[in-house]
Amino acid sequence: MSAIRYTKDHEYVRLDGDVATIGITDHAQEQLGDIVFVELPQVGKSVEQGGEAAVVESVKAASEVYAPVSGEVIEVNAALEGEPAKVNADPLGDGWFMKLKVRDKSQFDALMDEAAYNEFVATLS
């Protein structure tokens, strides 16, 4: 079974063993509007927690996607290059951005669970 955690920058990370699947939350895609382009990192790239890992562009703005945990990129969602709207349609499913081999699982444990993230989002409106 996988567990999901969230960041204050509206990224999510789903952890299965030592593999983290990363994307943006439903709230983030709603705020961005129609997503028209996603720039993904190279497989093999090392990313640090809080560092820029990808870029997403919408009709409203371009925004960085930050790594919620540190690790090495082992897979990217190449389908987003041709169909960036998958992020709008299914951000926590088919709209994932990358998978990392996690270096430090304690970083994952320190992130917000769904209830804490929902409380955080409620304070933004």
pLDDT of 1: 45
CATH architecture label of 3-104? Beta Barrel (2.40)
Q: What is the pLDDT of residue 125?
A: 73
pTM over 0.75: yes
Q: What is the CA radius of gyration of the chain?
A: 13
Where along the chain do its domains lie? 3-104
Question: pLDDT tens for residues 29-70?
Answer: 999 999 999 999 999 999 999 999 999 999 999 999 999 999
Mean pLDDT of 69-73: 98
